[in-house]
Amino acid sequence: MWLRGVLLVLIAGLFLSWGSAEQENMNTRVDLVPQMDTLLSMADLPSEALYSMPDPVYTTDNQWDSVFSRLQKRAGFNGTVLIAERGEVVHAGAYGYGHHRRKDTLELSSSFQLASVSKMFTAVAIMLLYEAKRLDFDKPVQEYIPEFPYDNITVRHLLNHRAGLPRYMWLAEKHWDTQKILTNEDVLCLYNDHKPNLFFKPGTRFHYCNTNYAFLALVVERISQMSFQEFADTYIFEPLKMENSFVLDLKKEQKAADEVIGYRRRRRGYLAVPKDFLDGVVGDKGVYASVKDLFLLDRAFYGDALLSHETLSVAYTGGSPELRNHNYGFGWRMQTQREGIIYHFGWWRGFRSCFIRDIYSLRTMIILSNHDHIRRNLSFWDLFCQFEGP
Protein backbone atom coordinates (compact mmCIF):
# COMPACT_ATOMS: atom_id res chain seq x y z
CA MET A 1 0.00 0.00 0.00
CA TRP A 2 2.80 2.43 0.84
CA LEU A 3 4.31 2.22 -2.64
CA ARG A 4 1.11 3.02 -4.52
CA GLY A 5 0.31 5.76 -2.03
CA VAL A 6 3.72 7.32 -2.57
CA LEU A 7 3.36 7.03 -6.34
CA LEU A 8 0.01 8.79 -6.32
CA VAL A 9 1.29 11.58 -4.10
CA LEU A 10 4.32 11.99 -6.37
CA ILE A 11 2.08 12.22 -9.41
CA ALA A 12 -0.08 14.73 -7.58
CA GLY A 13 2.95 16.84 -6.77
CA LEU A 14 4.10 16.65 -10.36
CA PHE A 15 0.84 18.02 -11.69
CA LEU A 16 0.53 20.72 -9.04
CA SER A 17 4.05 21.94 -9.84
CA TRP A 18 2.97 23.03 -13.29
CA GLY A 19 1.30 26.15 -11.84
CA SER A 20 1.75 29.19 -14.01
CA ALA A 21 3.30 27.20 -16.85
CA GLU A 22 -0.05 25.49 -17.24
CA GLN A 23 -1.77 28.83 -17.77
CA GLU A 24 0.70 29.74 -20.49
CA ASN A 25 -0.08 26.56 -22.40
CA MET A 26 -3.87 26.80 -22.20
CA ASN A 27 -4.11 27.67 -25.88
CA THR A 28 -2.43 24.44 -26.98
CA ARG A 29 -3.77 21.75 -24.64
CA VAL A 30 -6.48 21.10 -22.08
CA ASP A 31 -6.03 21.99 -18.41
CA LEU A 32 -4.83 18.80 -16.75
CA VAL A 33 -3.92 20.05 -13.29
CA PRO A 34 -5.59 17.61 -10.86
CA GLN A 35 -7.12 18.33 -7.49
CA MET A 36 -4.80 17.21 -4.69
CA ASP A 37 -7.64 15.93 -2.49
CA THR A 38 -8.88 13.70 -5.32
CA LEU A 39 -5.50 12.04 -5.66
CA LEU A 40 -4.88 11.67 -1.95
CA SER A 41 -8.26 9.99 -1.50
CA MET A 42 -6.92 7.12 -3.60
CA ALA A 43 -4.15 6.27 -1.13
CA ASP A 44 -6.33 3.73 0.74
CA LEU A 45 -5.37 0.79 -1.45
CA PRO A 46 -5.03 -2.99 -0.98
CA SER A 47 -1.98 -4.43 0.71
CA GLU A 48 1.22 -4.94 -1.23
CA ALA A 49 1.70 -8.48 0.13
CA LEU A 50 4.39 -9.40 -2.34
CA TYR A 51 6.55 -6.48 -1.25
CA SER A 52 6.93 -8.06 2.15
CA MET A 53 8.59 -11.03 0.48
CA PRO A 54 12.37 -11.34 0.75
CA ASP A 55 14.55 -10.42 -2.19
CA PRO A 56 14.58 -13.09 -4.89
CA VAL A 57 17.13 -15.87 -4.69
CA TYR A 58 18.43 -16.58 -8.19
CA THR A 59 18.99 -20.30 -8.32
CA THR A 60 19.95 -22.70 -11.11
CA ASP A 61 17.93 -25.83 -11.78
CA ASN A 62 19.99 -28.62 -13.35
CA GLN A 63 17.23 -29.89 -15.63
CA TRP A 64 16.37 -26.45 -16.98
CA ASP A 65 20.03 -25.59 -17.32
CA SER A 66 20.47 -28.69 -19.47
CA VAL A 67 17.52 -27.66 -21.66
CA PHE A 68 18.91 -24.21 -22.41
CA SER A 69 22.53 -25.36 -22.70
CA ARG A 70 21.35 -27.82 -25.34
CA LEU A 71 19.42 -25.07 -27.12
CA GLN A 72 22.54 -22.91 -27.05
CA LYS A 73 24.58 -25.62 -28.77
CA ARG A 74 21.98 -26.91 -31.24
CA ALA A 75 19.72 -23.95 -31.99
CA GLY A 76 22.02 -20.99 -31.43
CA PHE A 77 20.18 -19.72 -28.37
CA ASN A 78 21.99 -16.76 -26.84
CA GLY A 79 20.31 -14.98 -23.97
CA THR A 80 19.01 -15.01 -20.41
CA VAL A 81 16.20 -16.97 -18.81
CA LEU A 82 14.15 -16.73 -15.63
CA ILE A 83 11.48 -19.24 -14.63
CA ALA A 84 9.48 -18.68 -11.46
CA GLU A 85 6.56 -20.09 -9.53
CA ARG A 86 4.59 -18.42 -6.74
CA GLY A 87 7.02 -15.56 -6.45
CA GLU A 88 10.14 -17.72 -6.19
CA VAL A 89 12.78 -18.37 -8.83
CA VAL A 90 12.85 -21.94 -10.14
CA HIS A 91 15.67 -21.35 -12.60
CA ALA A 92 17.72 -18.37 -13.72
CA GLY A 93 20.51 -18.64 -16.25
CA ALA A 94 22.60 -16.72 -18.77
CA TYR A 95 23.89 -18.33 -21.96
CA GLY A 96 26.33 -16.83 -24.42
CA TYR A 97 27.61 -13.34 -25.06
CA GLY A 98 26.26 -9.82 -24.90
CA HIS A 99 28.85 -8.69 -27.43
CA HIS A 100 30.34 -11.35 -29.69
CA ARG A 101 33.52 -9.52 -30.64
CA ARG A 102 34.42 -8.66 -27.05
CA LYS A 103 33.18 -12.03 -25.74
CA ASP A 104 31.29 -10.30 -22.95
CA THR A 105 29.56 -13.04 -21.00
CA LEU A 106 25.86 -12.42 -20.43
CA GLU A 107 24.64 -11.88 -16.87
CA LEU A 108 21.19 -11.98 -15.30
CA SER A 109 21.51 -8.19 -15.04
CA SER A 110 22.14 -7.75 -18.79
CA SER A 111 19.67 -5.35 -20.44
CA PHE A 112 17.95 -6.40 -23.65
CA GLN A 113 15.74 -4.47 -26.06
CA LEU A 114 12.30 -5.86 -25.19
CA ALA A 115 10.74 -5.00 -28.57
CA SER A 116 6.95 -5.43 -28.30
CA VAL A 117 7.16 -6.62 -24.71
CA SER A 118 7.70 -2.88 -24.11
CA LYS A 119 3.98 -2.42 -24.70
CA MET A 120 3.16 -3.68 -21.22
CA PHE A 121 5.13 -0.76 -19.75
CA THR A 122 3.21 1.70 -21.91
CA ALA A 123 -0.03 0.16 -20.72
CA VAL A 124 1.15 0.37 -17.09
CA ALA A 125 1.93 4.08 -17.55
CA ILE A 126 -1.55 4.68 -18.95
CA MET A 127 -3.15 2.73 -16.11
CA LEU A 128 -1.17 4.68 -13.51
CA LEU A 129 -2.60 7.89 -14.98
CA TYR A 130 -6.04 6.32 -14.95
CA GLU A 131 -5.75 5.43 -11.26
CA ALA A 132 -4.53 8.97 -10.57
CA LYS A 133 -7.74 10.19 -12.28
CA ARG A 134 -5.82 11.99 -14.98
CA LEU A 135 -7.17 9.87 -17.81
CA ASP A 136 -10.33 8.04 -18.89
CA PHE A 137 -9.97 4.97 -21.09
CA ASP A 138 -13.07 5.87 -23.06
CA LYS A 139 -12.28 9.50 -23.74
CA PRO A 140 -11.15 10.45 -27.26
CA VAL A 141 -7.42 10.70 -27.74
CA GLN A 142 -8.03 14.31 -28.81
CA GLU A 143 -8.88 15.03 -25.17
CA TYR A 144 -5.17 14.59 -24.39
CA ILE A 145 -3.58 15.33 -27.78
CA PRO A 146 -5.79 18.08 -29.28
CA GLU A 147 -4.05 17.97 -32.66
CA PHE A 148 -4.57 14.21 -33.05
CA PRO A 149 -6.25 13.98 -36.48
CA TYR A 150 -8.96 11.40 -35.68
CA ASP A 151 -11.87 12.42 -33.44
CA ASN A 152 -13.42 8.95 -33.09
CA ILE A 153 -10.46 7.04 -31.61
CA THR A 154 -10.40 6.54 -27.83
CA VAL A 155 -7.59 5.58 -25.49
CA ARG A 156 -9.18 2.15 -25.11
CA HIS A 157 -9.14 1.66 -28.88
CA LEU A 158 -5.39 2.21 -28.85
CA LEU A 159 -4.84 -0.11 -25.87
CA ASN A 160 -6.89 -2.93 -27.43
CA HIS A 161 -5.55 -2.43 -30.99
CA ARG A 162 -8.99 -1.51 -32.33
CA ALA A 163 -8.23 1.94 -33.71
CA GLY A 164 -7.76 1.02 -37.38
CA LEU A 165 -4.60 3.11 -37.73
CA PRO A 166 -2.05 2.27 -40.44
CA ARG A 167 1.56 1.52 -39.55
CA TYR A 168 3.69 4.58 -38.78
CA MET A 169 6.72 2.74 -40.16
CA TRP A 170 5.07 2.59 -43.57
CA LEU A 171 4.25 6.29 -43.39
CA ALA A 172 7.80 7.17 -42.32
CA GLU A 173 9.36 5.14 -45.11
CA LYS A 174 7.36 7.18 -47.63
CA HIS A 175 7.52 10.65 -46.13
CA TRP A 176 10.43 10.88 -43.68
CA ASP A 177 14.14 11.53 -44.13
CA THR A 178 15.55 8.28 -42.77
CA GLN A 179 18.82 10.04 -41.92
CA LYS A 180 16.95 11.87 -39.14
CA ILE A 181 15.76 10.32 -35.89
CA LEU A 182 11.99 9.88 -35.84
CA THR A 183 10.25 10.66 -32.53
CA ASN A 184 6.71 10.17 -31.25
CA GLU A 185 5.97 13.85 -31.86
CA ASP A 186 7.26 13.42 -35.42
CA VAL A 187 4.87 10.49 -35.89
CA LEU A 188 2.00 12.77 -34.87
CA CYS A 189 3.16 15.35 -37.43
CA LEU A 190 3.26 12.70 -40.16
CA TYR A 191 -0.33 11.70 -39.45
CA ASN A 192 -1.44 15.30 -39.34
CA ASP A 193 0.33 16.15 -42.59
CA HIS A 194 -0.80 13.13 -44.59
CA LYS A 195 -3.99 12.01 -42.79
CA PRO A 196 -3.96 8.38 -43.95
CA ASN A 197 -7.33 6.69 -44.03
CA LEU A 198 -8.25 4.34 -41.22
CA PHE A 199 -8.56 0.67 -42.13
CA PHE A 200 -11.97 0.44 -40.46
CA LYS A 201 -14.29 2.27 -38.08
CA PRO A 202 -12.60 2.38 -34.67
CA GLY A 203 -13.91 -0.20 -32.24
CA THR A 204 -15.26 -2.59 -34.86
CA ARG A 205 -12.24 -4.83 -35.48
CA PHE A 206 -8.90 -5.96 -34.09
CA HIS A 207 -5.74 -4.95 -35.91
CA TYR A 208 -2.43 -5.27 -34.08
CA CYS A 209 -0.43 -2.15 -34.91
CA ASN A 210 2.62 -0.55 -33.30
CA THR A 211 1.20 2.90 -34.05
CA ASN A 212 -1.34 2.49 -31.26
CA TYR A 213 1.30 2.22 -28.55
CA ALA A 214 3.48 4.95 -30.03
CA PHE A 215 0.53 7.32 -29.61
CA LEU A 216 -0.18 5.99 -26.10
CA ALA A 217 3.38 6.93 -25.09
CA LEU A 218 2.68 10.40 -26.45
CA VAL A 219 -0.52 10.55 -24.38
CA VAL A 220 1.61 9.83 -21.30
CA GLU A 221 4.00 12.62 -22.25
CA ARG A 222 1.26 15.18 -22.85
CA ILE A 223 -0.58 14.46 -19.61
CA SER A 224 2.49 14.22 -17.38
CA GLN A 225 4.54 16.90 -19.16
CA MET A 226 7.47 14.51 -18.82
CA SER A 227 9.23 12.48 -21.46
CA PHE A 228 8.12 8.87 -21.61
CA GLN A 229 11.62 7.96 -20.47
CA GLU A 230 11.35 10.18 -17.39
CA PHE A 231 7.87 8.94 -16.53
CA ALA A 232 8.93 5.28 -16.71
CA ASP A 233 12.01 5.98 -14.59
CA THR A 234 10.07 7.90 -11.94
CA TYR A 235 6.91 5.84 -11.60
CA ILE A 236 7.87 2.32 -12.69
CA PHE A 237 11.58 1.52 -12.71
CA GLU A 238 12.73 3.39 -9.60
CA PRO A 239 9.83 2.39 -7.30
CA LEU A 240 10.24 -1.27 -8.29
CA LYS A 241 14.06 -1.07 -8.04
CA MET A 242 14.42 -2.13 -11.65
CA GLU A 243 18.04 -1.04 -11.76
CA ASN A 244 18.87 -2.36 -15.23
CA SER A 245 15.85 -0.88 -17.01
CA PHE A 246 15.50 2.23 -19.14
CA VAL A 247 13.64 3.56 -22.14
CA LEU A 248 15.88 4.23 -25.11
CA ASP A 249 16.48 7.87 -25.98
CA LEU A 250 18.51 8.07 -29.18
CA LYS A 251 19.00 11.80 -28.87
CA LYS A 252 20.74 11.37 -25.52
CA GLU A 253 22.69 8.35 -26.76
CA GLN A 254 22.49 6.76 -23.32
CA LYS A 255 23.80 3.24 -22.85
CA ALA A 256 23.50 1.03 -19.80
CA ALA A 257 26.62 -0.72 -18.59
CA ASP A 258 24.90 -4.07 -19.10
CA GLU A 259 23.16 -3.29 -22.42
CA VAL A 260 23.74 -6.03 -24.97
CA ILE A 261 23.98 -5.92 -28.77
CA GLY A 262 21.35 -7.46 -31.06
CA TYR A 263 22.53 -9.87 -33.76
CA ARG A 264 21.19 -11.25 -37.01
CA ARG A 265 22.31 -14.66 -38.25
CA ARG A 266 24.34 -14.78 -41.46
CA ARG A 267 26.09 -17.65 -43.25
CA ARG A 268 29.45 -16.71 -41.82
CA GLY A 269 28.27 -15.96 -38.32
CA TYR A 270 26.40 -13.15 -36.63
CA LEU A 271 26.05 -9.56 -37.77
CA ALA A 272 25.48 -6.82 -35.20
CA VAL A 273 22.29 -4.91 -35.96
CA PRO A 274 22.70 -1.16 -35.42
CA LYS A 275 19.93 1.10 -34.18
CA ASP A 276 18.17 3.12 -36.88
CA PHE A 277 15.89 6.15 -37.18
CA LEU A 278 12.81 4.19 -36.10
CA ASP A 279 14.37 3.53 -32.70
CA GLY A 280 13.57 7.12 -31.78
CA VAL A 281 9.91 6.11 -31.43
CA VAL A 282 9.06 4.46 -28.10
CA GLY A 283 6.02 2.94 -26.46
CA ASP A 284 5.62 0.21 -29.04
CA LYS A 285 9.23 -0.85 -28.33
CA GLY A 286 12.30 0.82 -26.83
CA VAL A 287 12.27 -0.47 -23.26
CA TYR A 288 15.46 -2.22 -22.20
CA ALA A 289 15.38 -4.50 -19.16
CA SER A 290 16.95 -7.59 -17.62
CA VAL A 291 15.21 -10.82 -16.65
CA LYS A 292 15.79 -9.87 -13.02
CA ASP A 293 13.94 -6.60 -13.49
CA LEU A 294 11.06 -8.22 -15.36
CA PHE A 295 10.67 -10.66 -12.49
CA LEU A 296 10.36 -7.72 -10.08
CA LEU A 297 7.61 -6.37 -12.33
CA ASP A 298 5.94 -9.78 -12.37
CA ARG A 299 5.83 -9.88 -8.57
CA ALA A 300 4.53 -6.33 -8.43
CA PHE A 301 1.55 -7.29 -10.59
CA TYR A 302 0.58 -9.93 -8.05
CA GLY A 303 1.05 -7.65 -5.08
CA ASP A 304 -1.40 -4.80 -5.76
CA ALA A 305 1.38 -2.33 -4.97
CA LEU A 306 1.83 -0.83 -8.44
CA LEU A 307 -1.72 -1.16 -9.77
CA SER A 308 -4.93 -2.34 -8.15
CA HIS A 309 -6.39 -5.75 -8.92
CA GLU A 310 -9.46 -3.99 -10.31
CA THR A 311 -7.42 -2.13 -12.89
CA LEU A 312 -5.32 -5.16 -13.75
CA SER A 313 -8.44 -7.25 -14.27
CA VAL A 314 -9.38 -4.83 -17.05
CA ALA A 315 -5.88 -5.11 -18.51
CA TYR A 316 -6.22 -8.90 -18.54
CA THR A 317 -9.60 -8.84 -20.30
CA GLY A 318 -9.65 -9.26 -24.06
CA GLY A 319 -11.01 -6.25 -25.88
CA SER A 320 -12.10 -8.07 -29.04
CA PRO A 321 -14.93 -10.53 -28.37
CA GLU A 322 -15.02 -11.60 -32.02
CA LEU A 323 -11.61 -13.26 -31.73
CA ARG A 324 -11.65 -16.99 -30.97
CA ASN A 325 -8.17 -18.34 -30.25
CA HIS A 326 -6.46 -15.27 -28.88
CA ASN A 327 -7.23 -11.80 -27.64
CA TYR A 328 -5.55 -8.59 -26.51
CA GLY A 329 -6.08 -6.59 -23.34
CA PHE A 330 -3.98 -3.64 -22.21
CA GLY A 331 -0.41 -4.48 -23.22
CA TRP A 332 -0.97 -8.22 -22.86
CA ARG A 333 -2.02 -10.95 -25.24
CA MET A 334 -4.10 -13.86 -23.97
CA GLN A 335 -5.06 -17.34 -25.04
CA THR A 336 -8.83 -17.60 -24.96
CA GLN A 337 -8.78 -21.40 -24.75
CA ARG A 338 -6.48 -21.44 -21.71
CA GLU A 339 -7.77 -19.20 -18.96
CA GLY A 340 -5.18 -17.35 -16.97
CA ILE A 341 -2.45 -17.39 -19.63
CA ILE A 342 -1.31 -13.89 -20.55
CA TYR A 343 1.81 -13.14 -22.52
CA HIS A 344 3.68 -11.01 -25.00
CA PHE A 345 6.47 -11.75 -27.45
CA GLY A 346 8.79 -9.28 -29.11
CA TRP A 347 11.07 -9.16 -32.12
CA TRP A 348 13.10 -6.13 -33.19
CA ARG A 349 16.49 -5.57 -34.78
CA GLY A 350 18.37 -8.59 -33.50
CA PHE A 351 16.36 -9.12 -30.33
CA ARG A 352 13.72 -11.64 -29.37
CA SER A 353 11.76 -11.55 -26.12
CA CYS A 354 9.19 -13.68 -24.34
CA PHE A 355 7.15 -12.99 -21.21
CA ILE A 356 4.53 -15.63 -20.35
CA ARG A 357 2.51 -15.62 -17.13
CA ASP A 358 -0.08 -18.03 -15.79
CA ILE A 359 -1.88 -15.80 -13.32
CA TYR A 360 -3.86 -18.72 -11.89
CA SER A 361 -0.96 -21.05 -11.08
CA LEU A 362 1.44 -18.11 -10.59
CA ARG A 363 3.99 -19.46 -13.06
CA THR A 364 6.22 -17.13 -15.07
CA MET A 365 8.67 -17.67 -17.91
CA ILE A 366 10.89 -14.85 -19.16
CA ILE A 367 13.31 -15.37 -22.04
CA LEU A 368 15.42 -12.62 -23.59
CA SER A 369 17.71 -13.22 -26.56
CA ASN A 370 19.99 -11.09 -28.71
CA HIS A 371 19.86 -13.61 -31.59
CA ASP A 372 16.80 -12.89 -33.72
CA HIS A 373 16.89 -16.19 -35.63
CA ILE A 374 15.77 -18.22 -32.60
CA ARG A 375 12.17 -17.50 -33.58
CA ARG A 376 12.61 -20.23 -36.21
CA ASN A 377 14.41 -22.70 -33.96
CA LEU A 378 12.79 -22.36 -30.58
CA SER A 379 9.17 -22.60 -29.45
CA PHE A 380 8.42 -20.54 -26.38
CA TRP A 381 5.16 -22.41 -25.94
CA ASP A 382 6.85 -25.80 -25.99
CA LEU A 383 9.16 -24.63 -23.23
CA PHE A 384 6.30 -23.27 -21.17
CA CYS A 385 4.41 -26.55 -21.56
CA GLN A 386 7.48 -28.32 -20.13
CA PHE A 387 7.25 -25.95 -17.17
CA GLU A 388 3.57 -26.78 -16.66
CA GLY A 389 4.26 -30.53 -16.79
CA PRO A 390 1.95 -33.29 -18.08
Catalytic residues: 116
Contact predicate 61/82, CB 8 Å = no
Following CA atoms 296, 300, 305, 307 in sequence, which dihedral angle do they give, to the nearest 10 degrees?
A: 130
CA-based nearest residue to 194, from 171, 216, 213: 171
